[in-house]
Amino acid sequence: MMITQNKKIAIIGGGPGGLTLAKLLQLKNVQVHVYERDKHKDVRVQGATLDLHEESGLEALRRAGLMDAFKANYRPDAGKLKILDKDLNQYLNEHDSGSFHDEDRPEIDRAPLRKILLETLEPETVIWDSQFVSMEKQEGGWILHFKNGKSYYADIVIAADGANSKIRSYITDVQAIYSGVTIIEGNIYNAQMNVPKLWELVDGGKIFAMDEEKTLLFSTKADGTLTFYTGCKVNETWAQESGIDFSNKEQIFEWFKKEYETWNDIWQELFETNDSSFVVRPQYHYPLDQTWETLPNLTMLGDAAHRMPPYAGEGVNMAMQDAYELAECLTDGKSEDVQTALSCYEKQMQKRASEITKITLDNTVLMHSPKAIENLMKMFSGE
């Protein structure tokens, strides 16, 4: 008998990791609901384009039978990269004819990926407008309470609720460590019209601009949005102590003009339109040696388990690999009970997360170092 038979599974969080897990469990006839805080499925999805990796994100879609849908929605040129310094000097341009562009990490926007996953789930799988508040043990399972006043019972709970997970504290008290870098994420809508010079410069792909131990990363989305991330080495409490209202474009622009004052004026075009949104994101990671005691009916995946900076493109891939490894442990018939299955999943996930976090932290240091471009080009050439 399968250990999940007659058990209700609750996944908290409807990001790629949570939705992938729901799909893979439904393929094995497991009862599962996803509780997502977004009001409905058409909420605007923020954040940069995602590159899916062969052994993780793409493998998850393969197991879910969704590769045809992925191929119909991915963006072949979105991964083409330019590496520039502050003065627009070009060190790499994968748009140039004859240049090598590695397409084994194909790009897809977050919104179509979410749509692909949602449309393949059974009706009513996702319970929208469900922001998790708290939970308590009941009859071998959990009662989950949500901000909308509703409560639900689940035999097994899986936290897929992201970097600021509210469920993680029920599993472990291991705290995140500040990476030394804080990002301001911006989204410029209708970018071709609003920031024409930068739109042309990005050319439908990605830009890594690095200089003076700072970064400015860009990507475009099919809906015409330009997403950017500033990366600066500041102390952990900088966002609170700076006095900047990060919902106020003018205040962020004043900061940007000072912080990036020696950079080419073209970068300031980012602040010439009000058709934009901004959020500050201090970058954290968990200790490389983090472990916890496996619980009988509660675990976590993705950023809830192993948040890290974005400088290796691994976040979504890790979450989707977590999803297929967890689904396998729960349904392969090899474990005598749920706790054993969760332990099997957590051990391999923690080992993999440690290795990927180390690579990500090395990249974070490299990209914010005095010789960032030189070192990155050496890395790309395999030196």
Any idea what the CATH number is for the domain that residue 139 is in? 3.50.50.60
Say which residues have a Cβ less than 8 Å from residue 146's Cβ, sequence separation at least 6: 35, 130, 131, 132, 133, 152
pLDDT in tens, 301-311: 999 999 999 99
- The amino acid at residue 102 is D
Q: Where in the sequence is the domain holding 354, given as residue range(s)? A: 8-50+109-175+289-364
Closest CA to 28 of 327, 336, 326: 327
Q: Looking at the domain assignment, is residue 265 inside a domain?
A: no
Q: Looking at the domain assignment, is residue 147 inside a domain?
A: yes
Instruction: Give the three-state DSSP class for 331.
Output: helix
- Cα–Cα dist 207/314, whole Å: 18
- Cα–Cα dist 105/25, whole Å: 26
Q: Looking at the domain assignment, is residue 45 inside a domain?
A: yes
As given in the structure block, the two tokens for residue 38 are 């977004």
Characterise 382 by phi-psi region: left (phi > 0), alpha (psi -120 to 50), beta (else): left
Number of domains in the chain: 1
Q: Looking at the domain assignment, is residue 101 inside a domain?
A: no
Q: Biggest alpha carbon distance in the chain?
A: 66
**What pLDDT was estimated at residue 96?**
84
Q: Looking at the domain assignment, is residue 300 inside a domain?
A: yes
Q: Looking at the domain assignment, is residue 132 inside a domain?
A: yes
Residue 273 exposure: Cα atoms within 13 Å on the Cβ side: 21
Q: Which residues of the chain have pLDDT under 70?
A: 1, 97-103
pLDDT in tens, 198-244: 999 999 999 999 999 999 999 999 999 999 999 999 999 999 999 99
Residue 380 has phi, psi (to 5 degrees) of -60, -35
- Cα–Cα dist 13/19, whole Å: 8
**What pLDDT was estimated at residue 102?**
61
Say which residues have a Cβ less than 8 Å from residue 318's Cβ, sequence separation at least 6: 56, 302, 306, 352, 353, 356
Q: What is the DSSP letter of 312?
A: T
Q: Looking at the domain assignment, is residue 210 inside a domain?
A: no
**What pLDDT was estimated at residue 231?**
98
**What pLDDT was estimated at residue 101?**
55
> Global pTM?
0.95
Q: Looking at the domain assignment, is residue 124 inside a domain?
A: yes
Pairing of strands 31-35, 126-127: parallel
